[in-house]
Amino acid sequence: MEVKLLKYKIISLCLFGFIYSQCSEMNYFECSNGINCEWIEDISYASCGSLTVSQCYDYPGQCYVDSNPGWYDSSGPYCTGGTYQINNSYCQEIEILECSEMDEIECSSDNNCDWIQDVELGDCYDLNSSSACYANGCDGWNNGNNYYQMPYCYGGTYVIEDNSYCQEIEMPECSEMNELECSGDDSCDWVEDIEVGNCSNYNIGTECDANDNCDWECSQWGSWYTWICYGDYYCAGGTYQIDSGYCQESSAPEYQLGDINNDYSTNILDAIVLINLILDGDENWSSSADINNDHSIDILDVVELVNIILNGEGL
């Protein structure tokens, strides 16, 4: 019991420590596990000989104090040992760019953004000087000859103006989706609305003509060589289906990342449930408890869950 209580206290301290930590206050371990934080390496080197004796002791294993006098008697002890490392690395919040701020590589790697190609091209052959030819990246300049051929630029096309840009992908509303799109979106539901009827119920004319499955027929035709209807026309074609299915907003609450206790919200209660699962060694935990998807639940999942809560991603 005491061991379990001690573990609980340790995990709780980590949990609440992360709740009140900003990226700038995190160490390397905390920063590396923060969703919106990144560790910036800032390491430089300097000579131990530039340090005073008192400063020298701050870099054990890199610099050391030589207590013997130097090559002349009045020099006294000094700092030596080659170079020492100055580590000014730090943790900072990841800057989340808007789609409009991204270049092509950044845009192409973001699932929420789409790169729009808008390039005006020119023909290298239209360039009339060697300087313009080479300046625009064409393959080369042919001087031609005075009798048979004029000088010309060759090499296909060149870019006159590049107005390409990155834009946010516009997600269609459920009322705008077809059945396949609707079924692939967790926030939408496809509603089946199929009408089944019989063509014989239609009157001859507009109703029968409006349904592609139905057609006019004659109850009694004339002789084999004439196409004269001696009977009555009626609407035939058997049964038909009219699919008026549509997509609508899902009525079920949307799943929230980190919602371990299934109350449709991610908060400190989920963190407590997760800590208890870890302490109890419960092997029957659901996949929702594995926040970082490494197929185990441990303190890293607690860290990830706390970041979700802090950043409001589970609201």
pLDDT digits (tens, 9 = 90+) for 28-58: 888 887 667 889 999 999 999 999 999 999 9
Per-residue pLDDT at 106:
86
Q: How confident is the model at residue 285 (pLDDT cuts 50, 70, 90)?
A: confident
**pLDDT tens-digit profile of 129-138?**
999 999 999 9
The pLDDT, as a whole number, for residue 84 is: 93
Q: Is the pLDDT of residue 3 over 80?
A: no
Report how far residue 62's alpha carbon sits from residue 43's, in angstroms, rounded to the nearest whole number.
15
Average pLDDT over residues 86-111: 86
Average pLDDT score over residue span 189-217? 87
Mean pLDDT (the chain, rounded): 81
- What pLDDT shows up at residue 95? 78
pLDDT at 12 exceeding the cut of 70: no
Would the pLDDT of 14 be above 60? no
- Four-residue CA torsion sign, 221, 226, 228, 233: positive
More confident residue, 257 or 114: 114
- Give the pLDDT of residue 290: 83
Amino acid at 256: Q
Q: Is the pTM of this model over 0.95?
A: no
Per-residue pLDDT at 20: 42
* Mean of pLDDT values over 185-197: 86
- Cα-Cα end-to-end distance for the chain: 35
CA–CA distance, 74 with 64 (Å, rounded to integer) = 19
Instruction: For residue range 106-125, list pLDDT tens digits in order.
Output: 888 888 889 999 999 999 99
- Region 82-90: mean pLDDT is 92
Task: Categorize the per-residue pLDDT at 72 as very low, low, confident or very high, splitting at 50, 70 and 90.
Answer: low
